[in-house]
Amino acid sequence: MNLNIFLKNFYFFQLNLHKKEKYLNIYIVTHKDFINKLTNSYYKILCDDCSKLNWDYNIDLISSNYDNELYKKKIGYCEGSKIYYIWKNYKNNKINTKYVGFNHYRRIFSFLDEIPNLDKIFQEYDVILNKRLYLNNKNIKEQYFEIHIGKNLDQIIQIIKENFTDYYLTSLKTMKMTFGNFCNIFIMKKEDFIEYGNFVFGVLFEFDRRNKLKNDDDIKNFIKKLLIKRNSNNIEKTIKYQRRLEGFLLERLTNVFYNFKFKNKYEIKVIDP
């Protein structure tokens, strides 16, 4: 069989696995093998190419490297490239569940296989998040400027002001907060997840367009130029960290969306199972 035809058929097979679950999907994002003892069918392991995983998993494996525009920026976007893949398929109604969630391979909601009654939780709360992280008396903007390249966050806020005006005041307030729910870990209603993707990827795609970032090499070179101007020490090591540019920005945009959309947030501890 032609490889392209095989990949296409496998892609639609994967989506059909999702469509059978009408209540909930929780995607565990990973880039490598990890020890996993989860067996609940609501969990799905999501990675760039699951054929490279060797562990004997007991839940569905979903590869996000096919039909994914962000695969060529998978380093820059980190888990964002995988969230985008799932978001696009929800938006196109190829996946259809009442609730959608994301965890990381070493950050799993502490309820594990014993999924709580989400209908009951969502009667009182608007979203389920990981526990907030306090930033040692720094606000979100100050913390970003300290450990990343502040110019990029400033440009993100400017894009929100110009193109996503409804979110602008919330973005300014969010930047002044001394805590946040980081790592893009959540369970949302499907319609909220679609709105979330419209916002965060709309902003990031405009950021990429303005800076001509078409692939991971572009992102790496963009970061390198900024670091050279800043006279950073140990530049190669710093590039390796900072080239996860859109992933870092996505975490801050996600908090903007949380604060704009959700009044009542239900926070649950995450653990490394």
Q: Which residue is listed with tokens 């390249």?
A: 149
Q: What pLDDT is stored for residue 258 in this prediction?
A: 98
Q: What pLDDT is stored for residue 6 in this prediction?
A: 52
Q: What pLDDT is stored for residue 233 in this prediction?
A: 73
Q: What pLDDT is stored for residue 140 in this prediction?
A: 98
Full residue range of the structural domain in which residue 168 is found: 3-271
- The Cα 135–Cα 142 span in angstroms is 9
Q: What is the pLDDT of residues 27-60, one digit of tens each?
A: 999 999 999 999 999 999 999 999 999 999 999 9
| Ranges in the chain, pLDDT < 50 | 17-19, 21
Q: What pLDDT is stored for residue 16 in this prediction?
A: 52
Q: Which residues contact 240 (CB under 8 A, 6 or more apart)?
A: none
Count up the domains in the chain and report the number: 1
CA distances from 62 to 59, 70, 244 (A): 10, 16, 22
Q: What pLDDT is stored for residue 174 in this prediction?
A: 98
Q: What pLDDT is stored for residue 21 in this prediction?
A: 47
